[in-house]
Amino acid sequence: MKCPICNKQLEPQTYHPKCMDDPIPYEPVHYAENAYKPKVYSVDLDNTLSVGSAWTCDECETLEPRQDAIDKINELYEHNFIVIHTARRHGLYGSTIKWLERNGVRYHALRFEKMPCDIIFDLDAINKVEDL
């Protein structure tokens, strides 16, 4: 096994402590003055991407999608970072992923809690797809 940071050969079930304490280097992104800067969109699932909400696996199976909202999020996905967030309990993780796949929702991350972001698309924040 190799250290994921410095590539040094390690014994199984060990890590290279020095590397794990160092911050992971990154290159800051610089945009031209008039260039489009991608945004992070936090998109609620229940009552936003769907008509109604689901609190059980059975409800996840029958929940109706809001196609206009899904189409807009899929369009935004191309040049932005889409995070689906929900207040559902963690036990519905698998059913939630299946619902998103079945309804063609494109996203980069799924969270079962709210998060910091640039724009929140939520029943309580933006009520019309046209407002995006």
The closest alpha carbon to 80, from 124, 36, 34, belongs to 36
Please tell me the pTM assigned to this model: 0.66
Q: What angle do CA 2, 23, 21 make, to 5 degrees?
A: 65
Domain ranges for the chain, please list them.
1-27, 40-131
Q: Which architecture characterizes domain 40-131 according to CATH?
A: 3-Layer(aba) Sandwich (3.40)
Q: What angle do CA 112, 81, 50 make, to 5 degrees?
A: 50
Walk along the chain (132 residues) and give the pLDDT tens digit of each residue: 566 656 666 555 444 455 545 554 555 566 667 677 888 888 989 999 999 999 999 999 999 999 999 999 999 999 999 999 898 888 899 999 999 999 999 999 999 876 666 777 666 565 566 766
Q: What share of the chain is helix, strand, coil (3-state, %, to 5)?
A: 30, 15, 55
